[in-house]
Amino acid sequence: MNLKLVHNEYGESDIRLLRVMRRGSIHELRDLMLSVQFEGDFDSAHTAGDNRKILPPNTMANTVYVLARQYPAEAIEEFALHIVEHFLTYNPQVSRVRVAARERPWSRILVADKPHASAFVSNAGEKRITHITATRENTILQSGIENLLVLKTSGAAFKGFLHDPYTTLHDALNSIVSVEINATWTYDLSESEGPYSAAWHGIRKLLLETFANHDGRSLQHTVYAMGQAVLDNFESIAEIRLSFLDNLYSLVDLKSFGMENEGEVFLPVDEPRGLVTATLRREI
Protein backbone atom coordinates (compact mmCIF):
# COMPACT_ATOMS: atom_id res chain seq x y z
CA MET A 1 0.00 0.00 0.00
CA ASN A 2 1.31 3.44 -0.93
CA LEU A 3 0.91 6.04 1.81
CA LYS A 4 1.51 9.76 1.81
CA LEU A 5 1.93 11.90 4.89
CA VAL A 6 -0.09 14.93 3.83
CA HIS A 7 0.26 17.07 6.92
CA ASN A 8 1.97 17.05 10.29
CA GLU A 9 2.76 19.47 13.08
CA TYR A 10 3.76 19.28 16.70
CA GLY A 11 4.47 21.57 19.61
CA GLU A 12 3.98 22.41 23.26
CA SER A 13 0.73 23.68 24.78
CA ASP A 14 -0.32 25.13 28.13
CA ILE A 15 2.94 26.93 28.82
CA ARG A 16 2.09 28.92 31.95
CA LEU A 17 4.11 32.03 32.66
CA LEU A 18 3.92 34.81 35.24
CA ARG A 19 6.26 37.66 34.32
CA VAL A 20 7.05 40.28 36.96
CA MET A 21 8.94 43.46 36.05
CA ARG A 22 10.28 45.20 39.16
CA ARG A 23 11.01 48.89 38.68
CA GLY A 24 11.86 49.85 42.21
CA SER A 25 8.68 49.69 44.26
CA ILE A 26 6.48 49.71 41.13
CA HIS A 27 5.82 46.25 39.69
CA GLU A 28 4.31 45.27 36.34
CA LEU A 29 2.59 41.90 35.88
CA ARG A 30 1.85 39.59 32.93
CA ASP A 31 0.02 36.29 33.50
CA LEU A 32 0.22 34.25 30.28
CA MET A 33 -0.73 30.88 28.81
CA LEU A 34 1.03 30.07 25.53
CA SER A 35 1.27 27.33 22.95
CA VAL A 36 3.82 26.81 20.16
CA GLN A 37 3.30 24.67 17.04
CA PHE A 38 5.81 23.80 14.30
CA GLU A 39 5.22 22.78 10.69
CA GLY A 40 8.18 21.75 8.55
CA ASP A 41 10.45 18.99 7.39
CA PHE A 42 9.52 16.31 9.91
CA ASP A 43 8.42 13.46 7.62
CA SER A 44 11.39 11.25 8.55
CA ALA A 45 10.42 11.33 12.22
CA HIS A 46 7.04 9.83 11.29
CA THR A 47 8.15 7.39 8.61
CA ALA A 48 11.57 6.28 9.85
CA GLY A 49 11.71 7.22 13.52
CA ASP A 50 14.50 9.69 12.73
CA ASN A 51 14.31 12.46 15.36
CA ARG A 52 17.33 14.52 14.29
CA LYS A 53 15.11 17.42 13.14
CA ILE A 54 12.75 17.31 16.12
CA LEU A 55 13.23 20.09 18.64
CA PRO A 56 11.76 18.67 21.87
CA PRO A 57 8.55 20.32 23.07
CA ASN A 58 10.17 20.82 26.46
CA THR A 59 12.82 22.92 24.72
CA MET A 60 10.05 25.09 23.26
CA ALA A 61 8.73 25.79 26.76
CA ASN A 62 12.23 26.50 28.08
CA THR A 63 12.81 28.90 25.19
CA VAL A 64 9.62 30.78 26.08
CA TYR A 65 10.83 31.16 29.66
CA VAL A 66 14.26 32.37 28.53
CA LEU A 67 12.79 34.90 26.12
CA ALA A 68 10.43 36.10 28.85
CA ARG A 69 13.48 36.78 31.01
CA GLN A 70 15.29 38.58 28.18
CA TYR A 71 12.43 40.88 27.23
CA PRO A 72 10.34 43.17 29.43
CA ALA A 73 6.70 42.60 30.36
CA GLU A 74 5.51 43.95 27.03
CA ALA A 75 2.38 43.48 24.95
CA ILE A 76 1.66 39.82 24.25
CA GLU A 77 1.76 40.51 20.50
CA GLU A 78 5.33 41.76 20.75
CA PHE A 79 6.38 38.86 22.97
CA ALA A 80 4.80 36.32 20.57
CA LEU A 81 6.63 37.95 17.65
CA HIS A 82 9.93 37.51 19.52
CA ILE A 83 9.12 33.80 19.95
CA VAL A 84 8.27 33.37 16.26
CA GLU A 85 11.43 35.19 15.17
CA HIS A 86 13.63 33.05 17.44
CA PHE A 87 12.31 29.71 16.22
CA LEU A 88 12.37 30.63 12.53
CA THR A 89 15.92 32.00 12.86
CA TYR A 90 17.47 28.98 14.59
CA ASN A 91 15.45 26.12 13.07
CA PRO A 92 15.86 25.83 9.28
CA GLN A 93 13.77 22.64 9.28
CA VAL A 94 10.75 24.68 10.43
CA SER A 95 8.65 26.32 7.71
CA ARG A 96 5.81 27.71 9.81
CA VAL A 97 5.44 28.62 13.48
CA ARG A 98 2.15 29.19 15.24
CA VAL A 99 2.09 30.91 18.61
CA ALA A 100 -1.10 31.40 20.59
CA ALA A 101 -1.13 33.42 23.80
CA ARG A 102 -3.79 34.25 26.35
CA GLU A 103 -3.32 36.83 29.04
CA ARG A 104 -5.26 36.94 32.29
CA PRO A 105 -5.59 40.65 33.07
CA TRP A 106 -4.74 41.88 36.53
CA SER A 107 -5.53 45.37 37.77
CA ARG A 108 -4.01 47.17 40.71
CA ILE A 109 -5.88 47.04 43.98
CA LEU A 110 -7.04 50.48 45.04
CA VAL A 111 -5.88 51.49 48.51
CA ALA A 112 -7.34 54.80 49.70
CA ASP A 113 -8.45 55.33 46.07
CA LYS A 114 -4.88 54.98 44.83
CA PRO A 115 -3.51 52.07 42.74
CA HIS A 116 -1.21 49.90 44.82
CA ALA A 117 2.31 49.49 43.46
CA SER A 118 2.47 45.70 43.82
CA ALA A 119 -0.94 44.28 44.72
CA PHE A 120 -3.39 43.18 42.04
CA VAL A 121 -6.86 41.75 41.53
CA SER A 122 -7.91 39.47 38.66
CA ASN A 123 -10.65 40.57 36.27
CA ALA A 124 -12.90 37.46 36.37
CA GLY A 125 -12.82 35.28 33.24
CA GLU A 126 -11.85 37.90 30.66
CA LYS A 127 -8.72 37.12 28.65
CA ARG A 128 -6.55 39.07 26.27
CA ILE A 129 -5.42 36.82 23.40
CA THR A 130 -3.15 36.78 20.38
CA HIS A 131 -2.51 34.26 17.58
CA ILE A 132 0.46 34.49 15.22
CA THR A 133 1.15 32.33 12.18
CA ALA A 134 4.45 33.10 10.48
CA THR A 135 6.69 31.88 7.70
CA ARG A 136 9.87 33.55 6.52
CA GLU A 137 7.81 35.37 3.87
CA ASN A 138 4.60 36.26 5.67
CA THR A 139 3.20 36.93 9.15
CA ILE A 140 -0.46 36.91 10.18
CA LEU A 141 -1.09 38.64 13.50
CA GLN A 142 -4.44 38.39 15.25
CA SER A 143 -5.40 39.73 18.65
CA GLY A 144 -8.58 39.78 20.64
CA ILE A 145 -10.65 39.42 23.77
CA GLU A 146 -12.28 36.34 25.26
CA ASN A 147 -15.14 36.18 27.75
CA LEU A 148 -15.90 39.90 27.98
CA LEU A 149 -19.21 39.89 29.86
CA VAL A 150 -21.52 42.88 29.32
CA LEU A 151 -25.11 43.68 30.23
CA LYS A 152 -27.52 46.54 29.67
CA THR A 153 -31.08 47.08 30.85
CA SER A 154 -32.30 49.40 28.09
CA GLY A 155 -31.59 50.27 24.47
CA ALA A 156 -32.31 46.81 23.09
CA ALA A 157 -35.30 45.33 21.27
CA PHE A 158 -36.21 42.29 19.19
CA LYS A 159 -39.36 42.34 17.10
CA GLY A 160 -40.59 41.65 13.57
CA PHE A 161 -38.85 38.28 13.51
CA LEU A 162 -39.95 35.18 11.61
CA HIS A 163 -42.70 33.06 13.18
CA ASP A 164 -43.41 29.42 12.41
CA PRO A 165 -45.75 26.91 14.14
CA TYR A 166 -43.20 26.34 16.92
CA THR A 167 -42.40 29.97 17.72
CA THR A 168 -43.36 31.00 21.25
CA LEU A 169 -41.18 34.10 21.64
CA HIS A 170 -42.96 37.46 21.91
CA ASP A 171 -41.72 40.85 20.79
CA ALA A 172 -39.28 42.43 23.25
CA LEU A 173 -39.28 46.22 23.11
CA ASN A 174 -36.90 47.15 25.91
CA SER A 175 -35.36 44.02 27.31
CA ILE A 176 -32.27 43.07 29.27
CA VAL A 177 -29.40 42.13 26.99
CA SER A 178 -26.36 40.36 28.40
CA VAL A 179 -23.77 38.69 26.20
CA GLU A 180 -20.35 37.15 26.50
CA ILE A 181 -18.24 38.81 23.81
CA ASN A 182 -15.41 37.07 22.01
CA ALA A 183 -13.58 39.27 19.51
CA THR A 184 -10.63 38.57 17.24
CA TRP A 185 -9.12 41.11 14.88
CA THR A 186 -6.44 40.81 12.22
CA TYR A 187 -3.81 43.49 11.85
CA ASP A 188 -2.80 44.95 8.52
CA LEU A 189 0.93 44.82 9.20
CA SER A 190 1.61 47.28 6.39
CA GLU A 191 -0.28 49.83 8.50
CA SER A 192 0.78 48.77 11.99
CA GLU A 193 3.91 47.83 13.88
CA GLY A 194 2.34 48.53 17.26
CA PRO A 195 1.94 49.75 19.91
CA TYR A 196 -0.38 46.79 20.29
CA SER A 197 -1.36 47.39 23.89
CA ALA A 198 -2.69 50.86 23.05
CA ALA A 199 -4.70 49.40 20.17
CA TRP A 200 -6.07 46.56 22.32
CA HIS A 201 -7.22 48.87 25.09
CA GLY A 202 -8.64 51.31 22.55
CA ILE A 203 -10.61 48.60 20.75
CA ARG A 204 -11.91 47.17 24.03
CA LYS A 205 -13.05 50.64 25.11
CA LEU A 206 -14.75 51.24 21.75
CA LEU A 207 -16.52 47.87 21.86
CA LEU A 208 -17.89 48.65 25.31
CA GLU A 209 -18.97 52.17 24.36
CA THR A 210 -20.70 50.96 21.19
CA PHE A 211 -22.51 48.19 23.05
CA ALA A 212 -23.70 50.67 25.67
CA ASN A 213 -24.83 53.38 23.24
CA HIS A 214 -26.20 51.39 20.30
CA ASP A 215 -30.00 51.20 19.98
CA GLY A 216 -30.00 47.55 18.98
CA ARG A 217 -32.88 45.95 17.11
CA SER A 218 -31.31 42.49 17.47
CA LEU A 219 -28.03 40.93 18.51
CA GLN A 220 -27.13 40.85 14.81
CA HIS A 221 -27.72 44.60 14.59
CA THR A 222 -25.49 45.29 17.58
CA VAL A 223 -22.65 42.93 16.66
CA TYR A 224 -22.42 44.58 13.21
CA ALA A 225 -22.37 48.07 14.75
CA MET A 226 -19.53 47.10 17.06
CA GLY A 227 -17.44 45.62 14.26
CA GLN A 228 -18.12 48.64 12.05
CA ALA A 229 -17.02 51.00 14.83
CA VAL A 230 -13.68 49.22 15.14
CA LEU A 231 -12.95 49.25 11.40
CA ASP A 232 -14.04 52.90 11.12
CA ASN A 233 -11.68 53.99 13.90
CA PHE A 234 -8.64 51.73 13.58
CA GLU A 235 -6.94 51.84 10.18
CA SER A 236 -4.50 49.12 11.23
CA ILE A 237 -7.30 46.53 11.58
CA ALA A 238 -8.07 44.66 8.35
CA GLU A 239 -10.74 42.31 9.71
CA ILE A 240 -12.66 41.65 12.89
CA ARG A 241 -14.67 38.63 14.00
CA LEU A 242 -17.17 39.06 16.81
CA SER A 243 -19.35 36.50 18.53
CA PHE A 244 -22.08 37.02 21.11
CA LEU A 245 -23.08 34.20 23.45
CA ASP A 246 -26.43 35.21 24.90
CA ASN A 247 -27.18 35.22 28.62
CA LEU A 248 -30.94 35.07 29.05
CA TYR A 249 -33.00 36.54 31.88
CA SER A 250 -36.70 35.77 32.31
CA LEU A 251 -39.11 37.96 34.23
CA VAL A 252 -40.16 36.33 37.51
CA ASP A 253 -43.95 35.94 37.83
CA LEU A 254 -44.89 37.39 41.24
CA LYS A 255 -48.66 37.53 40.73
CA SER A 256 -49.25 34.55 43.01
CA PHE A 257 -47.81 36.69 45.79
CA GLY A 258 -50.08 39.61 44.94
CA MET A 259 -47.25 41.61 43.42
CA GLU A 260 -46.62 43.13 40.01
CA ASN A 261 -43.18 42.81 38.43
CA GLU A 262 -42.72 45.53 35.85
CA GLY A 263 -39.27 44.61 34.65
CA GLU A 264 -37.52 44.64 38.01
CA VAL A 265 -36.88 41.03 39.13
CA PHE A 266 -35.38 38.52 36.70
CA LEU A 267 -34.23 34.92 36.81
CA PRO A 268 -31.04 33.94 34.95
CA VAL A 269 -31.58 31.12 32.44
CA ASP A 270 -28.48 28.97 31.97
CA GLU A 271 -29.45 26.97 28.86
CA PRO A 272 -29.99 27.01 25.95
CA ARG A 273 -28.01 30.06 24.82
CA GLY A 274 -28.17 31.95 21.54
CA LEU A 275 -24.99 32.45 19.54
CA VAL A 276 -24.48 35.21 16.96
CA THR A 277 -21.23 35.59 14.98
CA ALA A 278 -20.17 38.10 12.34
CA THR A 279 -16.94 38.82 10.49
CA LEU A 280 -16.37 42.25 8.96
CA ARG A 281 -13.50 42.94 6.56
CA ARG A 282 -12.19 46.22 5.24
CA GLU A 283 -12.67 46.33 1.47
CA ILE A 284 -9.76 47.70 -0.55
**pLDDT band of 261, cuts 50, 70, 90:** confident
Q: Looking at residues 68-87, what average pLDDT do you find?
A: 91
* Shared domain check, 58 and 175: no
Residue 91 has pLDDT above 90, yes or no: yes
**pLDDT band of 65, cuts 50, 70, 90:** very high
Domain boundary, last residue among 137, 153, 171:
137
pLDDT at 226: 96
* Shared domain check, 176 and 112: no
The closest of 124, 32, 118 to 73, measured between CA atoms, is: 32
**Dist CA 159 CA 172 (whole Å):** 6
For the chain, the helix, strand and coil percentages under 3-state DSSP, each to the nearest 5: 25, 40, 35
**pLDDT band of 28, cuts 50, 70, 90:** confident
Rounded to two decimals, the pTM is 0.85
185 with 148: CB under 8 angstroms? no
Give the model confidence (pLDDT) of 154-210 as tens digits.
888 888 888 878 787 788 877 788 899 999 999 999 876 778 999 999 999 999 999
The residue that leads in pLDDT, 170 or 53, is 53
30 with 19: CB under 8 angstroms? yes
The closest of 11, 4, 10, 12 to 47, measured between CA atoms, is: 4
* Shared domain check, 133 and 15: yes
Residue 129 has pLDDT above 90, yes or no: yes
pLDDT at 21: 84
Report the b/e string of 96-110 with b at 16+ CB within 10 A: bbbbbbbbbbbebee
pLDDT at 120: 85
With respect to residue 114, please indicate whether it lies within any of the assigned structural domains.
Answer: yes
Range of 43's domain?
A: 7-137
Structural domains in the chain (count):
2
Kindly report the CATH number assigned to the domain that includes residue 217: 3.10.270.10
pLDDT at 255: 87
